[in-house]
Structure 1
Amino acid sequence: MAEPSPDPALDEESRVGEIIVVLSVASVLSTLVVLLRCYSRAVVLRNFGLDDTIIIPAQILTIATAVSIGLEVEWGLGRHSWLMPEEDKITYMKSFYTSIIVYSVAVCITKISILLQYRRLFFSTWLRYPIIFGLVFLTCWGVVQCFLLPLVCIPVAAFWDPSVEGFCLDNITIWYVLAGINIATDLTLYSMPIPVISTLSLPKRQKALLLIVFTIGIFPCAVSIYRIKTLREAAETTDMTWHNVNAAIFSFLELSVGVITVCLPTLRPVLRRVCPRIFGPDLRSDTKGQSGNDRNPLRRGEGTSSAVKGALRRSDSTDGLHFEHPTSRLEHDIEFADLGIWEHSPSARRYSAKEWQPENTMVPPMDGAATPRIPTPAVLARRGSRAPVEEDWGNEVEREIGAVG
């Protein structure tokens, strides 16, 4: 039976429409971005990695969180609690309980995907150990949450049924601890690429764009900070289904915006195909003929010197990665050209300036092709090499990096 209304004028208030719009728009956008990432990495670059695999369950759990919040709406979220029968309040609290656990696991998996992406893109020695530590910490933290959050109340039914006698931890304390750890890990993760990118030999504009792409995660971090305010409102109110709306909305926005920002650095290859005038020409658009046959001279082994072929063979098994074809490393490195961080690619960092020969500086372009030529792995100087590099060739490669980045 519903409680008597303290103010009949408030009975008509509803935020259900607002919740549904936020859940729908954010779910569609994050799903679309994940699909574009999968297409970009699997089809365009043909280099689908572990970080791309991990983002899929992260998005599935994000959608599961949206479903849990949707069930909360079905049982009263967005309306005043005095309008709800007692049995509906119990069902609502069960959905709320589920959404907390799913949300917490989704956050951890999304951040693990970020670290795996860093591990693939950045090869700085000083960054390797923080990445490994972060992966271990987030994995352990996710497992701990899976086991501890269900035990917030003993017995568990005491969480959603006030008639069950039991012991429950203070909700606001738990939420503050979880939110604090999330914010701390957010700030750490999104600041990790800054020292690496700031040392790259790139034009200031390009470097600034890279910094924006990799630090745009400050937005979900800002959402997390504001979410703390909404958590206190939800914890201290007696009108739970009304004052928990903001906490539910911002919790889901934190997840969906987080997934979107993680995927942004991987989208440029597919955006090149869709909008080449804005994002630059597709680096692969001229590598296949009209019949679909591969016309790339490097892939066929034509027009390349023995130094280039040897470099490809030597880079074939570096960095603990296995490639079935000698040119697969080039497939991997084209992604770095798309990001504008060529000199951090596994091939680029392996070869010193001593091996930089002008005749091997560019992959021979195909007849009539307008696509910018890509530097081969053998000719990209490793940072810190003592061997001198002639300025004109350095400028040429700089122009090439600018053309493809």
Structure 2
Amino acid sequence: MASQSGPNLDPVYFGGIEVDISQFDFSDHSSRLGAVTITCTVFIALVVLTVALRIFSRARYVRHIFLDDVLIILAAVFTVALAGMCIAGKQQPFGILIRINGTVATHHGLGRHIWLLPIPTLFDTLKNCILYLFVCQVLYCFAIALTKLAIISQYLRFIPDKSFRAALYGISVIILGLFITGKTHNASRMFTRAEASTGVFVTIFQCRPVRGAWNFTIEPVCVDYVTYLYASSAVNVATDILLFVLPLSHLWKLNLPRKQRVILCVLLAGGASACIVGIVRIAYLHQLRVLDVTYQSVVCLILTVGECSLGIIFVSIAALRPMARQFFPKAMRNSPASSAQPRAWPIRLQHIPASQDKDQYTSESKQNLSGSYGTRSGTSC
């Protein structure tokens, strides 16, 4: 129901800005608090469980922690923090919630329409909610960047092809450079990036002074951050596609049974779900421009948490194979012959020198390699 009933209504100002309140449907009392709580709780549980099993598998069966494990742990910390900030209600899940000014963001109206917020504290509520969204974006920067670096680190250790490794090194340099600076040498007023990190410094310093990003009672100088998110998210999707497509041909050429190659490619395709979520997220970025941001931003936040969580989950599934072979030996058996003699997979998560071709590895060098796909003395390592 439109709130305006005639053309001669006086303009409405909010924080010194003229607002067209005809966009509001004051009869809508719906809430998205439940959607935030359920979705983010599920993602927290899945991420924590997956990463815990990954580390257990490494420590118990591989007896080694690799660089991608460390990166995934860090990515999980930021993802859980991001999801935790989206959870509604007064109870603190797991006893840990990042707080802003002593209260969680949902206490500042997240998930509720702006016209349902208490009038006496409306300005303070909105300022704190926007500050919360600001912190969420910073957490997203770290979570998604660390996840992509973990994927690249894992690729580097089991694909020896020189050109492939060079491409990954190049992507890594771009990720790190744009994560730190948020722009390239050719950047102008429209910031660009080549990774989902969004440029942590661009996010933090999008306004001058910094508090202008959430304090609408002052007049800061800001970049058009939503437009920047459109551009950066599009490039992010492109890098997701590259990380999905580049290793496919190399994985298919590995000296593995066809069944195992299919499984690896399916797992890689599963990781592309994060890319799909990223594409859908672009369609909802416009909702960050509306005044009813406390309600409209929820879908974008849920998709943000989902993108980070799915990336962590799917990149960790392959690392669970050693543990799966112990608990489900029949299901994980490659062939009848594998029960008589353990078979070592040529896919290894330990560094393979780029100067050597995989066909040049001797049986002794293969035996010295350890990783989540191999076996040692009849035990998955």
TM-score category, normalised to shorter length: 0.7 to 0.9
Whole-angstrom CA distance in 2 between matches of 1:260 and 1:121: 19
| Contact 1:191–1:215 under 8 Å retained in 2 | no
Deviation of the 1:204 alpha carbon: 3.0
Asked if 1:149 corresponds to 2:193, the answer is no
Q: Are the counterparts in 1 of residues 278 and 303 from structure 2 also a CA contact under 8 Å?
A: yes
Whichever of the two has the greater Rg, that structure is: 1
Deviation at 1:277, TM superposition (A): 2.8
Residue aligning to 1:95: 132
Measure the CA separation in 1 of the matches of 2:67 and 2:366: 28
Pair 378,246 (structure 1): closer, same or farther in 2 beyond 3 Å: closer
Aligned to 1:315: none
Number of the residue aligned with 2:282: 228
Q: Would you say the 8 A contact 2:212–2:219 is kept in 1?
A: yes
Match of 2:79 in 1: 62
Match of 2:219 in 1: 165
Deviations 1:24-76 (A, max 9, x none): 10011011111111111222111311111111111101112113333332311
Structure 2 gap segments, 5+ residues each: 1-13, 88-103, 182-198, 368-379
Q: Map 1:1-400 onto structure 2 (within 5 A).
A: 7=25, 9-11=27-29, 13-70=30-87, 71-84=104-117, 85-144=122-181, 145-235=199-289, 237-280=290-333, 337=345, 341=347, 346=352, 352=360, 376-377=363-364
- Name structure 1 gaps, 5 residues minimum: 287-332, 356-375, 381-403
Higher deviation after alignment, 178-187 or 112-121: 178-187
Residue of structure 2 equivalent to 1:394: none
Deviation at 1:146, TM superposition (A): 2.3
Counterpart residue identity of residue 188, structure 1: L
Displacement after TM superposition at 1:206 (Å): 2.5
- Alpha-carbon contact 1:69-1:96 (below 8 Å) kept: no
Q: TM-score, normalised by structure 2?
A: 0.73
Code of the aligned partner of 2:272: I
State the identity as a percent: 28
Residues 345 and 89 of structure 1, relative CA distance in 2, 3 Å threshold: closer
Task: State the secondary structure of the residue aligned to 2:63.
Answer: coil
1:160 to partner: Cα distance? 1.1
The code of the aligned residue for 1:377 comes to E
CA contact (8 A) 1:34 1:263 kept: yes
Q: Name the structure 2 match of 1:328.
A: none
Following superposition, the deviation at residue 234 of structure 1 comes to 2.8
Alpha-carbon distance in 2 for matches of 1:173, 1:43: 47
Secondary structure of the equivalent of 2:256? Answer: coil
One-letter code of the match for 1:258? Answer: G
How has the CA–CA distance of structure 1 residues 379 and 147 changed in structure 2, closer, same or farther, with 3 Å as cutoff?
Answer: closer
> For 1:314-351, what per-residue CA distance to the aligned partner results, in whole angstroms no more than 9, with x for missing partners?
xxxxxxxxxxxxxxxxxxx98x62xx647x99599567
The Cα of 1:377 is off from its aligned counterpart by: 3.3
Structure with the larger helix share: 1
Aligned-partner Cα distance in 2 for 1:104–1:352: 41
Report how far residue 105 of structure 1 moved.
1.8
- SS of 2:254's equivalent in the other structure is coil
CA distance in 2, matches of 1:122, 1:27: 31
The CA deviation at 1:126 is 1.9
Separation in structure 2 between the aligned mates of residue 157 and residue 68 of structure 1, nearest angstrom? 20
